[in-house]
Chains A and B, each alone.
Chain A
Amino acid sequence: MTKLQYPFTEDKVRALKAGEAVEISGLVYTGRDKLHKYFADGGVLPVDFRDGALYHCGPVMLAQGGTWRVMAAGPTTSVRENPYEPDFIAGTGVRLVIGKGGMDAATLAAMQQHGCVYIQAVGGAAAVTAAAVKRVLGVSLLEEFGAAEAVWHLEVKGLAGVVAMDAHGVSLFDTVREASRRALARA
């Protein structure tokens, strides 16, 4: 298991290989459908994603005495951001994309070109993911996007995942799908 600590520099990220288990600590920003569309439409990003992590996640947040408490923070399906992610990676310098289900060939190519990896978080594991969030440091675009779509600034510790698409053009999802297709022909 590899521990990854913010900032996630290009060296650290290029050293990762598909299939490797990781634990992420430090600053992570959430961002999903609305943020991607906003960026594609020329919106100015409220935070700097360089050497950072983008988490495809719509958390359940509870306002509590002037601060926020994370009730659930599991990954959402990443495939919806396929049309936007290559430009987002090129434009922001983000190094980790965390989500569920993987992304397409164009995103994989952008990851290889710019030095970024895709981390598969464990779908459904809401309790452990929420427990990995130590603090909510802030939030951006809350009024504009609503709580599920806002950019939450999360301080995480030991957020578990697996490198599913690396910066060398390898996608575990493609490898597994192809192997299962061959196994199906034999079954």
Chain B
Amino acid sequence: MKTSATLEELTGLIVDTSSSLASDVEKALKSACRREAAGSAAKTVLKTILANIRLARRQRTPLCQDTGTLTFFVAEECRKTITPKLLKAAVAKATAMGALRRNTLAALSGKSYDDNVCEGAPVVHYVKGDGKTRVTLLMKGGGSENMSRQYSLPDAELNAARDLPGVEKCILDAVYRAQGYGCAPGILGVCIGGDRASGYETAKEQLLRPLDEKPSPLEARLLAKANTLGIGPMGLGGKTTLLGLKIAERPRVPASFFVTVAYMCWAARRRSI
């Protein structure tokens, strides 16, 4: 496998990720649209979403104005060539081309980093590769990020203990609390266990898994349950509240039992080269 990438290739990756939704997500949205009743608010919203996906791809313009936090997952064997410096140059170039909104602010002062580049932006992780993929980019908007949450079991309010029914209560509570605010129908990435930091990281990594892979029995059961809540596209009611649900388990220490839920909007922008 090739272990380098040019600036043009990486800029192209950003532009394509921003403008062209992954085919498995689009397929899931199409099938959700078919399931909703004619004339329903849910169908209207899904039709608009599908039209938006087609238009953005044709024009090569951003699917969503919130071009989000950019997280690059780079294969370990590319560490020397696909450097944070090169990725930052690609982000600055894509921003200048209009593929990314000016979306990076200093936390306290609110000052804009107009090229979306600074210490800590974009986020770059070097990961164990699969022997084929050099770089995967995930773009996640703020509205959905605000709906992510972490539970610590036992949770008295939810009456959730340190067992599987307790974990299920956390996950369904997260879906209920998100309503349509994270731009439903969304995708959940879940981490059972880990520490607070690795919990969020692992939960977010689950969002990279394709929606058309075979779900585990637990994933399938919880997805079906979540969709009985009837929250629907943009929270206006309907059959599809979630497009997918991916769960991973990580070890924990005896004192801690975290359940971490990463909420992704329908505009689940991810792409690899």
Contacts from A to B (Cβ < 8 Å): 1, 19, 21, 60, 71-74, 77, 100-102, 120, 122-128, 130-131, 160, 162, 164, 172-173, 175-177, 179-181, 183-184, 186-187
Point out the residues of chain A lying under 8 angstroms from B62, CB to CB. 72, 126-127
Point out the residues of chain B lying under 8 angstroms from A125, CB to CB. 48-49, 51-52, 64
SS class, residues of chain B in contact with chain A: loop
Q: How far is the CA of A181 from the CA of B173 in the complex (A)?
A: 10
B121 interface residue (CB < 8 Å to A): no
State the 3 A-B residue pairs at the shortest beta-carbon distance, nearest first: A72-B65, A21-B44, A125-B52
Having A21-B41, A131-B55, A184-B173, one finds 5 other A-B pairs with CB under 8 Å, namely A124-B52, A124-B65, A125-B52, A128-B51, A183-B230
B199 interface residue (CB < 8 Å to A): no
Q: B60-73: contact bitstring with A at CB < 8 Å (1 yes, 0 no)?
A: 01111110000000
Contacts from B to A (Cβ < 8 Å): 39-41, 44-45, 48-49, 51-52, 55-56, 59, 61-66, 98, 101, 141, 143, 172-173, 176, 179-181, 183, 225, 228-232, 234-237, 265-267
- Known A1-B44, A71-B98; judge A179-B237 contact (CB<8 A): yes
Point out the residues of chain B lying under 8 angstroms from A173, CB to CB. 179-180, 235-236
For residue B100, give the distance in angstroms from its CB to the closest CB of chain A.
11
CB pair B232 A187 closer than 8 Å? no
A-B CB contact pairs (8 Å), 8 listed: A19-B237, A74-B64, A101-B180, A122-B45, A122-B234, A123-B180, A125-B48, A126-B63
Q: How far is the CA of A162 from the CA of B59 in the complex (A)?
A: 26
Q: How far is the CA of A128 from the CA of B174 in the complex (A)?
A: 30
Point out the residues of chain B lying under 8 angstroms from A74, CB to CB. 64-65
Which of the residues A101, A122, A127, A180 comes within 8 Å of B176, measured between beta carbons? A180
For residue B25, give the distance in angstroms from its CB to the closest CB of chain A.
12
CB pair A128 B48 closer than 8 Å? yes
Q: How far is the CA of A126 from the CA of B66 in the complex (A)?
A: 9
Chain B residue at minimum C-beta to C-beta distance from A172: B236
Which of the residues A126, A179, A180 comes within 8 Å of B65, measured between beta carbons? A126
Q: How far is the CA of A45 from the CA of B143 in the complex (A)?
A: 30
CB pair A187 B267 closer than 8 Å? no
Q: How far is the CA of A127 from the CA of B56 in the complex (A)?
A: 6
